[in-house]
Structure 1
Amino acid sequence: MRKMLYATGLGAMAVFAAGAANANDELHKMSQNPKDWVMPAGDYANQRYSKLNQINASNVGKLQVAWTFSTGVLRGHEGGPLIVGNIMYVHTPFPNKVYALDLSQDNKIVWKYEPKQDPNVIPVMCCDTVNRGVAYGDGKIFLHQADTTLVALDAKTGKVEWTVKNGDPSKGSTGTSAPLVVKDKVLLGISGGEFGVQAHVTAYDIKTGKQVWRGFSEGPDDQLLVDDKTTELGKPIGKDSSLKTWQGDQWKIGGGATWGWISYDPELNLVDHGSGNPSTWNPKQRPGDNKWSMTIWARNPDTGVAKWVYQMTPHDEWDYDGVNEMILSDQTIDGKARKLLTHFDRNGLGYTLDRATGELLVAEKYDPKVNWTSGVDMKKDSPTYGRPKVLDAASTDKAGEDVNVKGICPAALGSKDEQPAAYSPDTQLFYVPTNHVCMDYEPFKVSYTAGQPYVGATLSMYPPPGETNMGNFIAWDGKTGKIVWSNKEQFSVWSGALATAGGVVFYGTLEGYLKAVDAKTGKELYKFKTPSGIIGNVTTYEHGGKQYVAILSGVGGWAGIGLAAGLTDPTAGLGAVGGYAALSNYTALGGTLTVFSLPQQ
């Protein structure tokens, strides 16, 4: 997959010439050119790995700031830039500006796009006004705006080619996720689980923006895009598999939002994505498994039909969204070569599945403090095969409404949220930014009103008992389900990781440090404090024969919502404001791209 198939000296003009008919082949080849970074995760496999090795474990300590760029926006900066030839594309939170910078002309702004959006969309956004990045394909840049508009921009000029609405903000739908270009389509999820949206993944024609298919997370089979061949853990899911697990028409406001990352396996022709929490957060109001929220989906990108599904947290009682990235790798496990999918779920379990069949191979805790479950039933002949065993002491459903269940680990933001992990084929280890946080959770009865919050729970968050650190950065063996090494961090690690062929792994901290550690041992090799807390994803590229590392800093997101939105009530921000109150002692709002390189020899 990583064999060099494409010339590394691509110019922007040659790249822009690719047509929709071969957009997938062209993009796949481009992603194998390590000088560029043409997809939100670097490649279709979501590995966030670069073959560049000019910066390595022996010299990374000499890194210096090469240049910086202010985005002009002061909210949470998630995601990272794209680099296509000589052009870098930088995005921002609301109002979702996009800048095209010419790396060959002293990073000159070639064009800027700034959409005009109704600011009333801001209060509908659950956890800050974040955006996780733009996508490239067919000579276009694709942006998912907060108001759910998918816009296609000419990559050379910034001119709007077409737009389409992906949802209705007046009913709670918003746009925060990065699109993914697959073949002649643009794939896109939707946010709104906290507002009772019936969520979906949608494919749009790359040329026109016309909707090709839409697959919902819950509802009738024709809306789910499942058929009699769709399986879970090797067995057909059967007719009305979702409807049977919801009371009445609750599925219509069932959540299952799809605001996370999408991966693609060209050989299997499957896209993989996750669905989020069921609505409401009060489990008493929605009896049943609430399928197919909290689920890994493997869909045919041409039709949207699901080949297999796997629900990780049936009848979620804690807001453990299943939207985190699916990382694809080819490894030998138990003596057998496998096409693997690895997923670090909010629920604190790291999963390894066979991505061709959906067979469950590993399900283990990647934070030792996880206490809502004793583990997953891995006996294939068991009637509860693949289900987690819920411990009564952590069950918010058994406790009932208006009962504050204390000491649940992890907190609702999970042992990891959307911040993507990285995988190195060199070490065959995953590098995972984690939250080390527990919570008290009190459900209460809530009624549904379109466009209004549909949460039904009050939360407070804090470090595990007897500990002070709220985060760890870990190396994980996906074949055995074991932590190889772990580095403590004062706050949650809310940045996406990057692994490189130089034996270095990069990540950012909420205080604002970019850090580099040894891929094998975790030893810290370098750190630099950027202007604001980091919730962005580390990117690397090569230009003019020199390797660069880039990171967006700008504190915010769920963990930093108190700073981003000026909130002080400890229970605000769905419990995060109190848990991360000390963050204001270390950083302040910002919006800066910082780019690093080695000094001239």
Structure 2
Amino acid sequence: MKKLLALTSVAAMCATGALANDGLIAEMEKPEQWAIQTGDYKNQRYSALDQITADNVGDLQANWTFSTGVLRGHEGSPLVIGDVMYVHTPFPNIVYALDLTQDGKIIWKYEPKQDPNVIPVMCCDTVNRGVAYANGKIYLHQADTKVVALDAMTGEEVWSAVNGDPSKGETNTATVLPVKDKLIVGISGGEFGVQGHVTAYDLDSGEQLWRAYSVGPDDQILFNEETTELGKPVGADSSINSWEGDQWMIGGGTTWGWYAADMEENLFYYGSGNPSTWNPAQRPGDNKWSMTIFARDIDTGEAKWVYQMTPHDEWDFDGVNEMILTEQEIDGEERKLLTHFDRNGLAYTMDRVSGELLVAEKYDPAVNWTSGVDMDPESDTYGRPAVVAQYSTEQNGEDVNSTGICPAALGTKDQQPAAYSPKTELMYVPTNHVCMDYEPFRVSYTAGQPYVGATLSMYPAPDSHGGMGNFIAWDNTTGEIKWSLPEQFSVWSGALATAGDVVFYGTLEGYLKAVHAETGEELYKFKTPSGIIGNVMTYEHGGKQHIAVLSGIGGWAGIGLAAGLTNPNDGLGAVGGYAALSDYTALGGQLTVFSLPD
């Protein structure tokens, strides 16, 4: 009987399939639920729940736990729909439905059968950033690129589609975006020379509706004569003209990050990743449209505008981090904004309707590869970052080690998503305070084999607090840090902002931390069983607000522990940089749920 009661709300939603998008929006608007990985279509990761406040969060207690049974990096977060919590794992990408009326009793479990040979093709751990819900279904994009729709009540497979080919290096680590009648799906594999793309599938049938590539001919990218960059037409063949020969065909630009949507504008937003290879001398030109923010029409996939943040990327500064959508006043005018904290260490604020660049500032003072972005619309280099020659990785040709580059390849922030509070109008950003040495070397392409072409080493930024991370509050309208909390290791956990004036995040040592949204004052911390690279979420059940987070060390920063690597140069340089993590945490895979005492 309890199981049936727990599924009642999900069953009711299954009956509204014709209005899938409206139904999902209604679920996202219920603060007691967490219906999408990013909190809402705007990626704000903000909750209106306010039972837990800055005054009482110090009384928070671990309420219950759940072991996932998998010992690799746990990114993403659970979803809560009605009385059911949906929990995912890294490879083999198990999905659990848990009954919240019975302390997390397992309602159903889905365990895909995947070829383990996909594991060595995954760049930086076997992570997955979570499932999605819409139209009475749970959507999972597996490591092997199989997209699966599961019945939310039973866990039975409704449909599946193959999105890529692991034998060519195509894999998946990202979540998916259900929007209108479509499921928007990306692809991983930039370190294997794939041609990145984003694809729309029909929510109910799994039929492929359109596919848009990041690099290549205009008809593959879905450009038209009206597509602009910084207000100017991009021009015909803008991508292939910026590559040498057919290099674009193995040019990367993968799409393994987060997606946002503006339903009024009928646009969705995301970023494309690094160009292949990591050796810039092998790919002359701007390498468009890798490292690019895309605004695309939801129905057709056509690009309305693009903005390339790091032309001819020389440092592996993937551009896939989340786009946070807000409505704020800037320069005396209320505008629809998009804010993006890029791996390259620059935080961008743009008009998300027109693509106008409004702010581009360093969000870690240690960033040194660029002196800044040209903000003069009349300039020939408008919107381009000025590269500091000392930190160019091709300044002296191949096989030369460029030292002291900040940030490291994993960026001032990787995929770990920031949060925004409309109460404070601040963004709360988990960051990496890490620099690197970078030595390119010539590499040849073989399908399904690593196509990197660089050796890296990483270490804390010099002349600072000596740690490898900060958690900061950022004003996206002025481009200023309001406060900054130093951390011993990178902050690889997604943040959560709440109406109770509390912001939550996790640390690589395993602490869940709560800080004051206005001041950054630490209000609470609790050490979970393993390092946290998951994203903090909140929901209400039984009249109580709960905070939940997955712990399980891994991801790029924790790849040494997750995969048992010891060579300092392994993990694309991260193993040596984060070697001390093993003194503080060990492998795990656990959900921990917190609430205030009765």
- TM-score normalized by structure 2? 0.98
1:54-453, aligned counterparts within 5 Å?
A: 54-453=51-450
- 1:493 is matched with 491
SS of aligned partner of 1:65: strand
The residue type paired with residue 591 of structure 1 is: G
2-structure distance, mates of 1:14, 1:486: 45
1-structure distance, mates of 2:7, 2:469: 40
1:2-41, aligned counterparts within 5 Å?
A: 11-13=8-10, 15-41=12-38
Q: How well do the aligned residues superpose, as a CA RMSD in angstroms? A: 1.0
Stretches of structure 2 that go unaligned for 5 or more consecutive residues are 1-5
1:563 and 2:564 correspond: no
Give yes or no for contact 1:18–1:26 (8 Å, CA) kept in 2: no
- 2:590 is matched with 592
Give yes or no for contact 1:415–1:435 (8 Å, CA) kept in 2: yes
2-structure distance, mates of 1:189, 1:77: 19
2-structure distance, mates of 1:320, 1:345: 8
Give the counterpart of 1:580 among 578, 581, 596: 578
Q: CA deviation at 1:18?
A: 4.5
The residue type paired with residue 366 of structure 1 is: Y
SS of aligned partner of 1:399: coil
Give the counterpart of 1:520 among 510, 513, 518: 518
Give yes or no for contact 2:537–2:547 (8 Å, CA) kept in 1: yes
Percent identity over the alignment is 74
- TM-score normalized by structure 1? 0.98
2-structure distance, mates of 1:438, 1:268: 39
The residue type paired with residue 592 of structure 2 is: T
Give yes or no for contact 2:86–2:98 (8 Å, CA) kept in 1: yes
The residue type paired with residue 354 of structure 1 is: D
Give yes or no for contact 1:194–1:280 (8 Å, CA) kept in 2: yes
1:18 to 1:438, Cα distance in 2 relative to 1, 3 A: farther
Q: CA deviation at 1:14?
A: 5.1
The residue type paired with residue 125 of structure 1 is: M
Q: CA deviation at 1:398?
A: 1.8
Give yes or no for contact 1:541–1:548 (8 Å, CA) kept in 2: yes
- 1:481 is matched with 479
Q: Which runs of 4+ in 1 moved over 3 A?
A: none
The residue type paired with residue 137 of structure 2 is: K
The superposition leaves residues 265-313 of structure 1 with CA deviations (integer Å, 9 ceiling, x where unpaired) of 0111100010000000000000000000000000001000000000000
Give yes or no for contact 1:24–1:184 (8 Å, CA) kept in 2: yes
Q: CA deviation at 1:73?
A: 0.1
Q: CA deviation at 1:105?
A: 2.1
The residue type paired with residue 154 of structure 2 is: T
2-structure distance, mates of 1:478, 1:80: 25
Q: CA deviation at 1:10?
A: 11
The residue type paired with residue 569 of structure 1 is: N
2-structure distance, mates of 1:18, 1:356: 34
2-structure distance, mates of 1:247, 1:265: 36
The residue type paired with residue 146 of structure 1 is: A
SS of aligned partner of 2:560: helix
- 1:49 is matched with 46
Give yes or no for contact 1:497–1:506 (8 Å, CA) kept in 2: yes
1:465-480, aligned counterparts within 5 Å?
A: 465-467=462-464, 468-480=466-478
